[in-house]
Amino acid sequence: RDRLFDPPARWLLVPRSATTAGSDCNKIGVSHEGFATEGARCQQRVGSCLDGQIDDLYAADAASDAPRHFLAAAVAARSGGAAVGLAMAASTAAGGGGLQLSTARRQASVVRVEVDAAALRYTVNTSPGEIRAAAAADFAAASGGGRLVARVVNVGTLRAEFTVTVDRCTPDGGIAAVAAQTLTLAAPPGDGAEAEVAFALSLTPAAAAADADAEYSCVVAVRDALARETHAVAVSFAVAAIVDDRGTQGGSLAASGTGATATGGAADGVQLLAREATCVDACPSFFDVLCLAFAGGCLARAAAVVAGVVVACCCLAGVAR
Protein backbone atom coordinates (compact mmCIF):
# COMPACT_ATOMS: atom_id res chain seq x y z
CA ARG A 1 0.00 0.00 0.00
CA ASP A 2 2.88 2.35 0.65
CA ARG A 3 3.85 2.24 -3.03
CA LEU A 4 0.47 3.71 -3.96
CA PHE A 5 1.68 7.05 -2.60
CA ASP A 6 5.04 7.00 -4.42
CA PRO A 7 5.70 10.00 -6.69
CA PRO A 8 5.48 9.40 -10.47
CA ALA A 9 9.27 9.16 -10.67
CA ARG A 10 9.09 5.80 -8.88
CA TRP A 11 6.34 4.35 -11.03
CA LEU A 12 7.42 1.39 -13.11
CA LEU A 13 7.89 1.58 -16.87
CA VAL A 14 7.97 -2.05 -17.97
CA PRO A 15 8.97 -3.17 -21.49
CA ARG A 16 6.44 -5.25 -23.38
CA SER A 17 8.88 -8.13 -23.48
CA ALA A 18 8.49 -8.46 -19.68
CA THR A 19 4.74 -9.13 -19.96
CA THR A 20 2.70 -12.09 -21.19
CA ALA A 21 -0.85 -12.90 -22.15
CA GLY A 22 -0.71 -15.76 -19.68
CA SER A 23 1.26 -18.60 -21.27
CA ASP A 24 4.84 -17.57 -20.33
CA CYS A 25 6.41 -18.16 -16.95
CA ASN A 26 8.37 -15.50 -15.06
CA LYS A 27 6.58 -12.61 -16.73
CA ILE A 28 3.98 -10.15 -15.56
CA GLY A 29 0.54 -11.56 -16.36
CA VAL A 30 1.33 -15.28 -16.13
CA SER A 31 -1.75 -17.47 -15.64
CA HIS A 32 -2.57 -21.12 -14.99
CA GLU A 33 -1.60 -21.89 -18.60
CA GLY A 34 1.99 -20.96 -17.77
CA PHE A 35 2.08 -23.32 -14.78
CA ALA A 36 0.51 -26.15 -16.76
CA THR A 37 3.02 -25.91 -19.59
CA GLU A 38 6.14 -25.42 -17.44
CA GLY A 39 8.77 -28.05 -18.24
CA ALA A 40 9.68 -30.56 -15.47
CA ARG A 41 7.45 -28.64 -13.07
CA CYS A 42 7.58 -31.37 -10.42
CA GLN A 43 11.31 -30.91 -10.09
CA GLN A 44 11.13 -27.07 -9.95
CA ARG A 45 11.27 -25.07 -6.75
CA VAL A 46 8.10 -23.59 -5.32
CA GLY A 47 7.17 -20.36 -7.12
CA SER A 48 9.60 -21.02 -9.98
CA CYS A 49 7.07 -19.70 -12.53
CA LEU A 50 6.39 -16.47 -10.64
CA ASP A 51 9.68 -14.61 -11.00
CA GLY A 52 9.84 -11.25 -12.81
CA GLN A 53 6.62 -9.91 -11.28
CA ILE A 54 5.93 -6.26 -10.39
CA ASP A 55 7.14 -6.72 -6.80
CA ASP A 56 10.40 -8.24 -8.04
CA LEU A 57 11.07 -5.36 -10.47
CA TYR A 58 10.23 -2.72 -7.86
CA ALA A 59 12.43 -4.32 -5.19
CA ALA A 60 15.36 -4.68 -7.62
CA ASP A 61 15.17 -1.01 -8.66
CA ALA A 62 14.77 0.19 -5.07
CA ALA A 63 17.92 -1.68 -4.01
CA SER A 64 19.96 -0.64 -7.07
CA ASP A 65 22.06 2.46 -7.59
CA ALA A 66 21.14 2.35 -11.31
CA PRO A 67 17.43 1.49 -11.47
CA ARG A 68 16.07 0.41 -14.87
CA HIS A 69 12.31 0.36 -14.46
CA PHE A 70 11.54 3.38 -12.31
CA LEU A 71 9.81 5.88 -14.58
CA ALA A 72 12.30 8.73 -14.17
CA ALA A 73 15.27 6.47 -14.85
CA ALA A 74 13.60 4.72 -17.78
CA VAL A 75 12.64 8.00 -19.48
CA ALA A 76 16.10 9.47 -18.90
CA ALA A 77 17.67 6.40 -20.45
CA ARG A 78 15.48 6.77 -23.51
CA SER A 79 16.28 10.51 -23.69
CA GLY A 80 20.00 10.06 -24.03
CA GLY A 81 20.63 10.65 -20.34
CA ALA A 82 18.94 14.07 -20.27
CA ALA A 83 17.38 15.11 -16.99
CA VAL A 84 13.59 14.94 -16.96
CA GLY A 85 10.90 16.10 -14.57
CA LEU A 86 7.73 14.16 -13.86
CA ALA A 87 4.58 15.44 -12.19
CA MET A 88 0.88 14.75 -12.18
CA ALA A 89 -1.13 17.05 -14.42
CA ALA A 90 -4.71 17.80 -13.45
CA SER A 91 -7.50 17.44 -15.98
CA THR A 92 -10.89 19.08 -16.15
CA ALA A 93 -12.45 15.80 -17.30
CA ALA A 94 -14.28 13.87 -14.66
CA GLY A 95 -11.92 11.34 -13.10
CA GLY A 96 -9.20 12.39 -15.52
CA GLY A 97 -5.57 13.12 -15.02
CA GLY A 98 -2.29 12.71 -16.74
CA LEU A 99 1.45 12.46 -16.44
CA GLN A 100 3.39 15.61 -17.23
CA LEU A 101 6.90 15.15 -18.57
CA SER A 102 9.31 18.08 -18.75
CA THR A 103 12.68 17.83 -20.43
CA ALA A 104 15.32 20.15 -21.81
CA ARG A 105 15.88 17.90 -24.83
CA ARG A 106 14.64 19.01 -28.25
CA GLN A 107 12.08 16.59 -29.60
CA ALA A 108 9.20 16.44 -32.05
CA SER A 109 5.75 17.20 -30.74
CA VAL A 110 2.20 17.51 -32.01
CA VAL A 111 0.39 20.72 -31.13
CA ARG A 112 -3.30 21.22 -31.71
CA VAL A 113 -4.51 24.79 -32.05
CA GLU A 114 -8.18 25.72 -32.21
CA VAL A 115 -9.25 29.22 -33.19
CA ASP A 116 -12.53 30.95 -33.85
CA ALA A 117 -13.00 31.30 -37.62
CA ALA A 118 -14.94 34.53 -37.10
CA ALA A 119 -11.85 36.08 -35.49
CA LEU A 120 -9.57 35.40 -38.49
CA ARG A 121 -8.51 38.19 -40.84
CA TYR A 122 -7.21 37.52 -44.33
CA THR A 123 -5.02 40.22 -45.85
CA VAL A 124 -4.77 40.48 -49.63
CA ASN A 125 -2.00 42.54 -51.20
CA THR A 126 -3.29 44.73 -54.00
CA SER A 127 -1.30 46.82 -56.41
CA PRO A 128 -2.19 48.67 -59.63
CA GLY A 129 -1.01 47.25 -62.95
CA GLU A 130 -0.64 48.65 -66.42
CA ILE A 131 -0.46 47.24 -69.92
CA ARG A 132 2.61 48.76 -71.53
CA ALA A 133 2.12 47.12 -74.93
CA ALA A 134 -0.39 44.86 -76.66
CA ALA A 135 -0.70 43.69 -80.26
CA ALA A 136 -2.34 41.00 -82.36
CA ALA A 137 -1.28 39.92 -85.85
CA ASP A 138 -3.80 39.58 -88.66
CA PHE A 139 -4.73 36.01 -89.54
CA ALA A 140 -6.76 34.08 -92.11
CA ALA A 141 -10.23 32.85 -91.26
CA ALA A 142 -9.30 29.26 -92.11
CA SER A 143 -5.97 29.29 -90.25
CA GLY A 144 -7.49 28.19 -86.95
CA GLY A 145 -6.81 31.44 -85.10
CA GLY A 146 -4.29 34.12 -84.23
CA ARG A 147 -2.20 35.27 -81.28
CA LEU A 148 -2.41 38.34 -79.04
CA VAL A 149 0.56 39.32 -76.85
CA ALA A 150 0.47 41.84 -73.98
CA ARG A 151 3.16 43.15 -71.61
CA VAL A 152 1.90 43.80 -68.05
CA VAL A 153 3.77 45.90 -65.46
CA ASN A 154 3.25 46.27 -61.70
CA VAL A 155 3.31 50.01 -61.04
CA GLY A 156 2.52 49.79 -57.31
CA THR A 157 4.70 49.21 -54.24
CA LEU A 158 3.69 45.67 -53.24
CA ARG A 159 4.15 42.22 -54.69
CA ALA A 160 0.67 41.24 -55.81
CA GLU A 161 -1.44 39.00 -58.00
CA PHE A 162 -2.93 40.22 -61.28
CA THR A 163 -5.43 38.84 -63.77
CA VAL A 164 -5.20 39.71 -67.47
CA THR A 165 -8.35 39.35 -69.59
CA VAL A 166 -9.25 39.67 -73.28
CA ASP A 167 -12.93 40.44 -73.84
CA ARG A 168 -15.42 42.99 -75.19
CA CYS A 169 -14.57 41.98 -78.75
CA THR A 170 -16.48 43.70 -81.57
CA PRO A 171 -18.29 42.96 -83.80
CA ASP A 172 -20.19 40.68 -81.46
CA GLY A 173 -20.22 36.96 -82.17
CA GLY A 174 -16.99 36.96 -84.16
CA ILE A 175 -14.23 36.13 -81.67
CA ALA A 176 -14.62 33.13 -79.34
CA ALA A 177 -14.24 33.58 -75.57
CA VAL A 178 -10.62 33.90 -74.40
CA ALA A 179 -9.49 32.37 -71.09
CA ALA A 180 -8.06 34.85 -68.54
CA GLN A 181 -4.54 34.42 -67.17
CA THR A 182 -3.35 35.01 -63.60
CA LEU A 183 0.21 36.00 -62.67
CA THR A 184 2.13 37.39 -59.71
CA LEU A 185 4.42 40.39 -60.20
CA ALA A 186 7.05 41.72 -57.84
CA ALA A 187 7.15 45.32 -56.72
CA PRO A 188 9.23 47.58 -58.99
CA PRO A 189 12.00 48.34 -59.67
CA GLY A 190 13.27 44.82 -58.99
CA ASP A 191 13.21 41.82 -61.30
CA GLY A 192 9.87 40.23 -61.92
CA ALA A 193 7.91 43.48 -61.94
CA GLU A 194 6.71 42.88 -65.49
CA ALA A 195 5.76 39.90 -67.62
CA GLU A 196 4.57 39.03 -71.10
CA VAL A 197 1.38 37.02 -71.58
CA ALA A 198 0.07 35.48 -74.80
CA PHE A 199 -3.51 34.64 -75.72
CA ALA A 200 -4.86 32.42 -78.49
CA LEU A 201 -7.53 34.07 -80.65
CA SER A 202 -10.06 32.04 -82.61
CA LEU A 203 -13.24 32.69 -84.53
CA THR A 204 -16.63 31.40 -83.47
CA PRO A 205 -17.98 28.56 -85.65
CA ALA A 206 -20.45 30.96 -87.28
CA ALA A 207 -17.76 33.50 -88.16
CA ALA A 208 -15.40 30.81 -89.45
CA ALA A 209 -18.17 29.39 -91.67
CA ALA A 210 -18.93 32.85 -93.09
CA ASP A 211 -15.33 33.11 -94.32
CA ALA A 212 -15.44 36.86 -94.93
CA ASP A 213 -13.00 39.72 -94.48
CA ALA A 214 -13.57 41.47 -91.15
CA GLU A 215 -11.99 43.99 -88.78
CA TYR A 216 -12.10 43.13 -85.07
CA SER A 217 -11.24 44.96 -81.86
CA CYS A 218 -10.80 43.44 -78.38
CA VAL A 219 -10.08 45.04 -75.00
CA VAL A 220 -7.08 43.77 -73.02
CA ALA A 221 -7.51 44.59 -69.31
CA VAL A 222 -5.46 44.03 -66.16
CA ARG A 223 -7.21 43.56 -62.80
CA ASP A 224 -5.82 43.51 -59.27
CA ALA A 225 -6.26 40.78 -56.66
CA LEU A 226 -9.75 42.07 -55.84
CA ALA A 227 -10.82 41.88 -59.53
CA ARG A 228 -10.79 45.66 -59.91
CA GLU A 229 -9.81 46.82 -63.39
CA THR A 230 -6.76 49.09 -63.19
CA HIS A 231 -5.89 49.54 -66.87
CA ALA A 232 -7.22 48.55 -70.29
CA VAL A 233 -6.29 49.03 -73.94
CA ALA A 234 -8.03 48.19 -77.22
CA VAL A 235 -6.28 46.00 -79.79
CA SER A 236 -7.41 45.86 -83.42
CA PHE A 237 -6.66 43.16 -85.99
CA ALA A 238 -8.02 41.87 -89.28
CA VAL A 239 -9.29 38.47 -90.36
CA ALA A 240 -8.97 37.66 -94.05
CA ALA A 241 -11.20 35.39 -96.10
CA ILE A 242 -9.86 32.61 -98.31
CA VAL A 243 -8.92 33.79 -101.84
CA ASP A 244 -9.09 31.06 -104.52
CA ASP A 245 -6.28 31.92 -106.91
CA ARG A 246 -4.95 29.29 -109.32
CA GLY A 247 -2.41 31.63 -110.84
CA THR A 248 -0.96 30.79 -114.27
CA GLN A 249 -1.91 27.13 -113.98
CA GLY A 250 -5.66 27.31 -114.19
CA GLY A 251 -7.05 30.80 -114.64
CA SER A 252 -10.00 32.03 -112.65
CA LEU A 253 -13.23 30.21 -111.87
CA ALA A 254 -16.17 31.03 -114.19
CA ALA A 255 -19.24 32.64 -112.68
CA SER A 256 -21.32 29.50 -113.25
CA GLY A 257 -18.71 27.32 -111.58
CA THR A 258 -18.72 24.90 -114.54
CA GLY A 259 -15.38 25.80 -116.10
CA ALA A 260 -12.48 28.21 -116.25
CA THR A 261 -11.16 30.71 -118.75
CA ALA A 262 -7.44 31.03 -119.48
CA THR A 263 -5.33 32.09 -122.44
CA GLY A 264 -4.89 29.05 -124.64
CA GLY A 265 -6.91 27.08 -122.16
CA ALA A 266 -9.99 24.86 -122.01
CA ALA A 267 -12.77 23.92 -119.63
CA ASP A 268 -12.07 22.56 -116.10
CA GLY A 269 -9.12 24.92 -115.76
CA VAL A 270 -6.78 22.84 -117.95
CA GLN A 271 -4.33 25.01 -119.89
CA LEU A 272 -3.09 23.87 -123.36
CA LEU A 273 0.48 25.05 -123.82
CA ALA A 274 1.23 26.49 -127.38
CA ARG A 275 4.16 24.98 -129.39
CA GLU A 276 5.72 25.59 -132.77
CA ALA A 277 4.56 23.53 -135.80
CA THR A 278 7.00 20.84 -137.03
CA CYS A 279 7.51 18.83 -140.27
CA VAL A 280 5.39 16.10 -138.79
CA ASP A 281 2.52 18.58 -138.46
CA ALA A 282 3.01 19.96 -142.04
CA CYS A 283 3.77 16.66 -143.87
CA PRO A 284 2.46 13.68 -141.95
CA SER A 285 3.61 11.24 -144.68
CA PHE A 286 7.32 10.46 -144.71
CA PHE A 287 7.33 9.73 -148.48
CA ASP A 288 5.62 12.95 -149.57
CA VAL A 289 8.79 14.39 -151.16
CA LEU A 290 7.08 17.33 -152.82
CA CYS A 291 5.55 18.42 -149.50
CA LEU A 292 8.91 18.09 -147.78
CA ALA A 293 10.65 20.07 -150.52
CA PHE A 294 8.34 23.06 -150.35
CA ALA A 295 7.38 23.06 -146.64
CA GLY A 296 9.40 25.46 -144.57
CA GLY A 297 12.03 23.88 -142.31
CA CYS A 298 11.72 20.38 -143.86
CA LEU A 299 14.76 20.30 -146.20
CA ALA A 300 16.73 18.10 -143.83
CA ARG A 301 13.95 15.58 -143.78
CA ALA A 302 13.64 15.71 -147.64
CA ALA A 303 17.38 15.11 -148.02
CA ALA A 304 17.12 12.11 -145.73
CA VAL A 305 14.36 10.67 -147.92
CA VAL A 306 16.34 11.17 -151.17
CA ALA A 307 19.47 9.62 -149.63
CA GLY A 308 17.45 6.63 -148.56
CA VAL A 309 16.05 6.13 -152.04
CA VAL A 310 19.55 6.33 -153.63
CA VAL A 311 20.96 3.78 -151.20
CA ALA A 312 18.06 1.45 -151.92
CA CYS A 313 18.59 1.67 -155.72
CA CYS A 314 22.30 0.89 -155.45
CA CYS A 315 21.56 -2.15 -153.36
CA LEU A 316 19.05 -3.45 -155.89
CA ALA A 317 21.51 -2.89 -158.80
CA GLY A 318 24.17 -4.88 -157.04
CA VAL A 319 21.80 -7.72 -156.47
CA ALA A 320 20.80 -7.72 -160.15
CA ARG A 321 24.42 -8.15 -161.30
Give the separation between CA 248 and CA 252, rounded to whole angstroms: 9
**How much is the pLDDT for 267?**
37
Q: Examine residue 128 and say whether the peptide bond preceding it is cis (omega within 30 degrees of 0).
A: no
- List per-residue pLDDT tens for the chain, 321 residues long: 567 777 777 778 888 888 888 888 888 888 888 888 877 778 778 878 888 888 888 888 888 887 877 777 777 776 665 555 655 555 555 555 566 666 666 777 788 889 898 888 888 999 999 999 999 999 988 887 899 999 999 999 999 999 999 999 999 889 999 999 999 999 998 889 999 999 999 999 888 888 788 999 999 999 999 999 999 999 999 999 877 666 666 555 544 443 333 333 333 333 333 445 566 666 766 666 667 666 666 767 777 777 776 666 666 665 555
Q: Is 247 exposed, middle or buried (0-12, 13-18, 19+ CB in 10 A)?
A: exposed
Whole-model pTM over 0.75: no
Give the separation between CA 269 and CA 128, rounded to whole angstroms: 61
Residue 20's alpha-carbon distances to 39, 48, 228, in angstroms, are: 17, 16, 71
**How much is the pLDDT for 66?**
77
